[in-house]
Amino acid sequence: MYKDEEGATVLYFKDDMTGKDGVFDPGENQVGLTVEGSGIVGLEMTTYFFEKLNAAGIPTHFISSVVDNRLMKVKKVSVFGKGLEVICRFKAVGSFYRRYGAYVKEGESLPAYVEVTLKDDERQDPVINKSALDALNILDTESYDEISALTVRISQLIKDELSKKGLDLYDIKLEFGRDEETGEILLIDEISGGNMRVYKDGNYIEPLKLNEYFFDK
Amino acid sequence: MYKDEEGATVLYFKDDMTGKDGVFDPGENQVGLTVEGSGIVGLEMTTYFFEKLNAAGIPTHFISSVVDNRLMKVKKVSVFGKGLEVICRFKAVGSFYRRYGAYVKEGESLPAYVEVTLKDDERQDPVINKSALDALNILDTESYDEISALTVRISQLIKDELSKKGLDLYDIKLEFGRDEETGEILLIDEISGGNMRVYKDGNYIEPLKLNEYFFDK
């Protein structure tokens, strides 16, 4: 992250991916592996989705990007606490299934279920509910409701985009921040294969393969 | 648990306590140790609190008890899913602190914070939020709000009772069910030292010692 000549914030997309012990996992926070070209692939997808979202009137931090240079110009934002992840689930898989497997079959449909986790590797990104976020002064209940509603809208839009390509979105991980100038809540970070679990006819689609369904090479 | 001659449900208080490897822990679900007389001590305290709660107009399953015979007559109820635990926290200790220690000091005050866990030993009683309880058809959002409000009222009443004896309630674990006849949501289970963390001048009070502050021997 750096500033351009006009003082705007610019993000540089590296080739790092989240995971553990060299295996990609969207549920992980830490860098687990480096794949050459993954930065460009991530920015290409991110640009595609952010432009769709901005066009739909959803507030995001995205201003513009130059994919080949791996650069994305964004609004300056503050995160909530030390950072939150907001997950929207359409299928019961991953940590949701591990927690609630007594009540749900793996892969069962969920109605755009939203949950929030703290970005805290040391404590394995614990799930946190609305009243705890409020009690700990991380996020007030009004902002929680706003983020929760935005998450459903954004996730549904992305699900629909994937659906047009014959792809199923199982779950997606979003991040939000507050515009430092206007105070508005914005979708931040990136939105690419690395943030979601996507399937086609029941088969998992690797994050870096997602672009092939959207862009000609 | 058995039925008396009139078909009422009667609970028998055994000498088992929750814990692990012979050490008492109110956060555990399983029987961890057996202490002679703990059944009577638990029922004595439970009777005291349930009578106070019934008098305050809070709906509970308690009808009557005969402490020396270890018997408590209760209304017939169904639990939600395979059983929920509803925790009210006035201090950040235990699993709350383990999860959210990045944002709170151990022992810091919390504003009667309510959270729900699933009774599921195999999955270490996972925390679950309002929308997941609804999505999994365990508890609808209206009943969640009712239980949450009842939990704050009940916990505050018990906190006040303890406070009169110079004792501080750090957290308490409650259970609720639905009256099989009327459909009303009722406080169920027992309420004794084993369900709460109580301190006096910063020192932890053992569950079985709690009775000494309330009853002459």
Size of chain B, expressed as the number of residues it contains: 217
Q: Do B113 and A99 touch (CB under 8 A)?
A: no
Q: Do B126 and A101 touch (CB under 8 A)?
A: no
Higher model confidence: residue B216 or residue B191?
Answer: B191
Task: Give the pLDDT confidence score for residue A8 in this predicted structure.
Answer: 77
Query: Picking from A57-71, A95-109, B32-46, which range would have the lowest pLDDT averaged per residue?
Result: B32-46
Interface with A, mutate which of B79, B82, B98, B99 (most A CBs under 10 A): B99
- Is the pLDDT confidence value at B19 over 90? no
Q: What SS3 state is found at A45?
A: helix
Chain A residues with beta carbon closer than 8 angstroms to that of B96: 132
Q: HEC string of B47-86? A: HHHHHHHHHCCCCECEEEEEHHHCEEEECCEEECCCCEEE
**Which positions 97-156 of B are in contact with A (Cβ < 8 Å)?**
98-104, 110-111, 113-115, 118, 120, 122-123, 126-132, 135-138
Instruction: Please give, rounded to a whole number of angstroms, the shortest distance from the CA of A31 to a CA of chain B.
Output: 21
- pLDDT tens-place string over residues A61-103: 999 999 999 999 999 999 999 999 999 999 999 999 999 999 9
Q: Residue A16: its pLDDT value, please?
A: 81
Residue A4: the pLDDT is: 72
Domain ranges of chain B: 2-213
Q: Is the pLDDT of residue A29 over 70?
A: no
With CB atoms and an 8 Å threshold, state whether B135 touches A102: no
Contact B113 A128 (CB under 8 A): no
- State the pLDDT confidence band at A144, using cuts at 50, 70 and 90: very high
The C-alpha of A145 sits at a distance from chain B's nearest C-alpha, in angstroms, of 12
For residues B8-14, average pLDDT: 88
Class of domain B2-213 as given by CATH: alpha beta
| Stretch B137-161: mean pLDDT | 98
Inter-chain touch B118–A103, beta carbons under 8 Å: yes
pLDDT, chain A, mean: 92
Cβ-defined contact of B129 to A127 (cutoff 8 Å): yes
What CA–CA distance (Å, rounded) separates B49 from B63? 12
pLDDT at res. B29 = 67
A2 shares contact with chain B (CB less than 8 Å): no
CB contact under 8 A, B132 and A115: yes
Backbone angles phi, psi at A175, to 5 degrees: -130, 145
pLDDT at position A101 is 97
- For residue A37, what pLDDT is reported? 83
Average pLDDT over residues B30-53: 89
| pLDDT over threshold 80, residue B23 | no
Residue A27: pLDDT band (50, 70, 90) is low
Quote the pLDDT of residue A152.
98
Instruction: Inspect the interface and report whether the beta carbons of A131 and B138 lie closer than 8 Å.
Output: no
Residue with tokens 């508890």: B139
Scanning the structure block, which residue is given the tokens 């995971």? Answer: A19
Contacts (Cβ under 8 Å, ≥6 apart) of A26? A18, A173, A194, A195, A196, A197, A207
> Which is more confidently placed, B32 or B106?
B106
Q: How many Å lie between the alpha carbon of A169 and the closest alpha carbon of chain B?
A: 18
How confident is residue B32, by pLDDT bands cut at 50, 70 and 90? confident
Q: What is the mean pLDDT of residues A103-130?
A: 96
Per-residue model confidence (pLDDT) at position B183: 97
On the CB side of A165, CA atoms within 13 Å amount to: 18
Give kind and range of the element (H or E) at residue A198.
Answer: strand A196-200
Interface confidence, given as ipTM, is 0.86
| A–B interface: beta-carbon pairs under 8 A | 73
* pLDDT tens-digit readout, A174-187: 999 999 999 999 99
